[in-house]
Structure formats: structure tokens, C-alpha cells
Amino acid sequence: MTIDFDLTLFIKETQLQHGLRAEDYTRYHHYTTNRLAALRQQLSLSNDKKRFLRKEVTVQNATDARHLMLLALYAERCWAEAEAMQVQLQAKKEARGGDANKPKGGVAPADQYRKRLNKSVKWAAKLTEVANAVASERVQQECTAYLKDTAGRCYAAHGKFKEAKEAFLLARETYAALRSTSTETQWIVIASKLNELDDRATYCMQRLGEDPSSYHPAPIFHTHGGATGDEGVSLQVGGASQLSWNGRTLSVFSIKVKDALREAQAVEVEATEVKLRETRGPVPVGQSNRVLDLMDRRINYYNDALAHARQDLRAAQEGVGKTEYQLIVHCILFHVAHETLRRTLFLAALYSRRFEATERTLRAGGRQLSSGSAAASSPQVMKHHSQQQQQQQRKKKSEISPTQFASPLEVVRLYQAAAGSVEEMELLPGVAGRDDVESLQAVCLAGQLFYTGESWRVSQAWVTAMPFYRDALVMLREATGPYVADLQELIEQRLMQGAAEVVLATSPSASSATAAAVGYLNEAGKETVGVAQGIMRFPPDFQAAPCKPVFVDIASTFVDYPMEEEAATEVAASQKGGNGNTSGAKPKEAKKKGWFGWGS
């Protein structure tokens, strides 16, 4: 029974899922080490703790696809360790100014990674040997192509670029021969492998002093006659080997630049954005954040490509080649500015929807307040109105939350930022004056004018807002593009609504029914400002409160108070007869006022 499994898909998924998507070779090396230990234990190939017994995968014991996976992971582990050593060596050189410490004996640190690459070739050769005996024909071809690819990388590390180029071309031919036995899913993975081999072949040609433009590989995809009747139509995969810029075709030979551009083009921003723009009303936060994350990912890939292209430009020699590198940098700068513009315009559309929802919500709240104040005094009617208000509030809460309220001035700022991106694009040579760039500039200016008019409309100043609407519509007359139609339709609707509002405002019935507008709150009087019922004024007004204090006089017993008339006459009589009084009798004292009245 022959062994059959998809070797190329297995290696590609393992690399992308465990570190190589971010070029983290150390993480990939750790994963392959742990995975090898698990596979050896599952296949009973682990060594005894007390006595070492060399257990290897041979033609006799290879009965499972996991045996081939084990050999492939051995080769991948050696290659990942070699790449990690190169990264560490480069970082050490940069930290020490290019002077790395070398030991007195043994292999220099700069050459240690080559030993690991030699080991990876040995494991790939053993994988091919075992697969030729126990695997299917397709697996045999994949193992042979993998061996040639591994050998080419080892040759390139040793400086043998001629042998490396031949190995890469043989690997490409072997992979291309798998087209007849591959499904569409398998062929997409192999096509990405073919692109990598093309990049390595052109790199070897550059190091050998050959002209990379003379390399013309066979097209990767061919669509044969089908429903459309097309035959032999070649489709470009990746689209990063050649760039079109201002009527010129630029060839990109840097592997890192091409990989970054391919990753940027592979991000599905357009489909997700179109699907989201088809919806109505405010966009949920989760969906909008997903689109923004995709846009940020594409911008980051373009920035990576720009950084590598600038490095190639600095290292290039003077001449025609350096001019082409400069044009590649200009092209990538244009793409970065264009994607930033797209992101800003998407945010402007997002905030414009939030502004419309905010206006509807606040307008609905105003209608509820006016209807409640004009309701009848009947309890049943009041209860009915309160129920209606609660139902309407529940509906409005589901549309937009107060934390997402937006104003038209926020949209104006976003269009200003978009205009700044267009200005960055126009700084590049040959971009200013292009029709597509002029249309984008017109959209940004029209957006600023329109939402400035919206801010005046919200303030009920239709007369001031109408000129902004007209100027915005004039800006879009000669503009074309995906952003023009929706904005132009919105401006025309506002112009019609504004014309109707101006007519109603100038009519005598409307002027008599409406009160005069107040410019500032400090000029408002009691006629224009009403106070809601059931609300207390704070702080309260000053009011005089009566108070009756209680005084306790402890000296009241020592004070002479006025006496009654009888007592006064007796005192006077006693004073008159005082001279003839010989008996010595004391006169009668008058009564004093006590605590609770006279004479107590």
C-alpha cells in the first residue's frame, strides 16, 4: 500500500501557522523540535532512557504518512535554525559595528548556519529516498522538487549561485509538472511555491551579473476552453513582479519587496468594504473595525515594501538601474497614500451615517417632549402618551447609542485629512494633473463644503447653508469615480429640501406662527424660554423667615420693676409720716415682679 499525502501543503501550513508569517524563525524552530518529539513518541521511535538505541525511519518501517512528515520536519528544523542563526548574526554585527567575535578554533559564527543547511539537504535526500520506495508518484515528485529547492538554498549560502540557479529551475519544472494531478486548491499552493522559485532564480541571475529581464518562465495558470470559450489565457499570480507606473512597466527583482506587495494585494479589502457599503444606517462597531483592520494590514504591507525598496535604492549604483529603483519607490509611495485616502474616506462615510442617525434620534426626542407637554390632562391620555414615548425610545436606542453620536464637523475634519493624502500623492512626479487624482481632490473639497453646510442646516440657518451646497455640487460636475455618485445625490437632496425650507420660512403664515430666533442665551426672555413643570429652582430664592428668640435673664431678681397704684400710695403715706414715727416700725415693701407675673 502506497503512502499518499500533500507534502507541499503540509509544509506551507506549518510555516505560516507557526512563525514564518512574521519571519520568526526561532519560533518555527522551537515548534518543529516539539513536533518531532511528539511524532517520535507516537511512532515508537523515541530512545530508551537507560540505553541509547538508534531508531531511524527506513524503507522497511515507513508504513505511515507520519514517517514522511518526520523526515520533512527534520529538514525544516535544520533550515529554520540556519535562518535564525543568520538573523542573530546580523543583529550582533549591527550592535557591534560589524565586528563579531570569532573563536580561536572551530567554525566561525558566520559559517555555522551553512552546516545546518548541509544537514537539511541530507534529511531532504533521505526523505526522497524513502518516498521513492513507499509513496505514490505525486508524493515522489513533490519530494524531488523539495530536495532541489533545499539544495539550491544550500548552494546559494555557499556562494555557488550557478548551481543554485540550476537547482531552482529544476525544482520549478518538477513543481510545474504536478499541474495535471493537482486540484485547484493544491495548485494555488504550488503556484505560490513557483513564485518563490522565480524570485530565487532572478536573485541568482543578479548575483551572477546576468540580466534578470531575460528570464521568462512559463505562465503559472492556464484556463482551457470552458463556458466562455477562452483558450490559453494566462493569469498573473501575485502581480508584484511588474508594476505599472505613469505609463512605464517596472520590474521588481527584490524578493522582500515582491513578497510584501503580494501580501498587500492578497488582503481582501475591496469585497468587504463593498459588502458593508450596501447596508443602510449606522454600521456596527464590530464590522467597521474588521474593515479598518484589513485596511491597516494592507497599509502595513505596503510600508514594509517601501522600506525594502528604499534599502535597495540606497544600495544601488548610479545609472539607469537606480532610476528604476527610484520609480519603484514612487509607485509604492503612491499606493500607501492611496490606501490611506481610502481608509479616511471610509471613516468619513462611517461618521456621516452616524451623524444622520444622531440627527434622527435627537429629532425624535424633541417630538416626544412636545407631544407630552401638549397632552390633555386626562390620566388615560397621559398614560397612553407615556407608553408611546417608551416604545419610541426603545426603537431609537437600537439604532445608535449616545456614545456614537457624531457631528458634521467631525466629517469635515476627516475630509480635510483625505485632502492631505491627495496632496501627498500630487507631490510625486507625474501625478499632479491626472484625472483620477483631480477627481479625488474634488470629492474631498465637496465633502468639506457639504458638511459645513450641514452644520449650518442643523442650526436652522438654511440661507447660510445653501451656498455651501451649491459650491459642493459645482465641484463634482466634472469629477468621476466611485465616491462621486453617492455624494452628488445627497447634495441634490439637500438643495431641494433647502429650497422648500426657504420658501416656507419667507411665507407670511410661517413667519407669524414661529417666534423670533434668539442668537444667544443671555438675550432670551421669558417669552422664548420655558421652564419645565415639577422642577425646583436651585439655589432657592431668598425669603424672610420670622423668628421668636427666648432670652433667660438671671439678673431679673435684682432689678426694681414699677409697682401698682395702691402700693405707690402706701409708700408715699409712709414717707410723709416718717418724721413722727417713733415706734420704729418698717414701712410695707412693695411687691416685686417674679418669674411668672406680678407678686408671685
Q: What pLDDT was estimated at residue 224? A: 36
Residues whose CB is less than 8 angstroms from the CB of residue 406 and which lie 6 or more positions away in sequence, other chains included? 351, 352, 354, 355, 358
pLDDT in tens, 116-170: 999 999 999 999 999 999 999 999 999 999 999 999 999 999 999 999 999 999 9
Query: DSSP state, 287?
Result: H
Q: What pLDDT was estimated at residue 108? A: 61
Q: Residues 396, 401, 407, CA angle at the centre, nearest 5°?
A: 100
CA distances from 276 to 126, 281, 283, 360 (A): 52, 11, 8, 21
Q: Which residue has the cell 397704684?
A: 565
* Alpha-helical segments (H) within 248-284: 255-266, 270-277
Residues whose CB is less than 8 angstroms from the CB of residue 305 and which lie 6 or more positions away in sequence, other chains included? 256, 257, 260, 261, 264, 332
Q: Which residue has the cell 503580494?
A: 262
The grid coordinates listed for 484 are 462621486
Write phi, then psi, for 3 (nearest 5 degrees): -90, 135
Which residues face 244 on adjacent strands?
249
Give dist(CA 479, CA 372) in Å, integer: 48
Domain with CATH 1.10.3450.40 in the chain: 7-94+108-214
Q: What pLDDT was estimated at residue 513? A: 47
Give dist(CA 349, CA 274) in Å, integer: 12
Helix (H) or strand (E) holding 222: strand 221-223
Q: What pLDDT was estimated at residue 563? A: 62
CATH level 3 topology of 246-363: Methane Monooxygenase Hydroxylase; Chain G, domain 1 (1.20.58)
Residue type, 225: G
Give dist(CA 480, CA 203) in Å, integer: 42
Nearest alpha-carbon partner for 252 in 267, 268, 236: 236
CA quadruple 127, 130, 131, 135: dihedral sign: negative
Domain with CATH 1.20.58 in the chain: 246-363, 433-505
Give dist(CA 283, CA 289) in Å, integer: 10
Q: What pLDDT was estimated at residue 1? A: 65
Q: What pLDDT was estimated at residue 369? A: 28
Give dist(CA 78, CA 127) in Å, integer: 14
Specify whether the CB–CB gap between 336 and 303 falls below 8 A.
Answer: yes
Residue type, 36: L
Specify whether the CB–CB gap between 233 and 187 falls below 8 A.
Answer: no
CA quadruple 347, 353, 359, 364: dihedral sign: negative
Give dist(CA 408, CA 410) in Å, integer: 5
CA distances from 450 to 13, 53, 327, 353, 423 (A): 50, 81, 37, 14, 20
Residues whose CB is less than 8 angstroms from the CB of residue 335 and which lie 6 or more positions away in sequence, other chains included? 264, 302
Whether the upstream peptide bond of residue 282 has omega within 30° of 0, thus cis, is no
Write phi, then psi, for 554 (nearest 5 degrees): -80, -10
Name the 3-class secondary structure at 158: coil
Nearest alpha-carbon partner for 347 in 417, 403, 397, 420: 417
CATH tag for 7-94+108-214 (out of 1.10.3720.10, 1.10.3450.40, 1.10.10.920, 3.20.20.140)? 1.10.3450.40
Give dist(CA 136, CA 351) in Å, integer: 58
CATH level 3 topology of 433-505: Methane Monooxygenase Hydroxylase; Chain G, domain 1 (1.20.58)
- pLDDT means over runs of 10, the chain (600 residues): 86 88 89 92 80 80 90 94 88 66 56 88 93 91 93 92 92 89 82 85 86 75 38 36 80 80 85 82 85 91 89 78 86 92 92 87 57 39 52 55 85 92 90 88 92 88 88 88 87 86 68 49 54 63 68 65 66 64 52 52
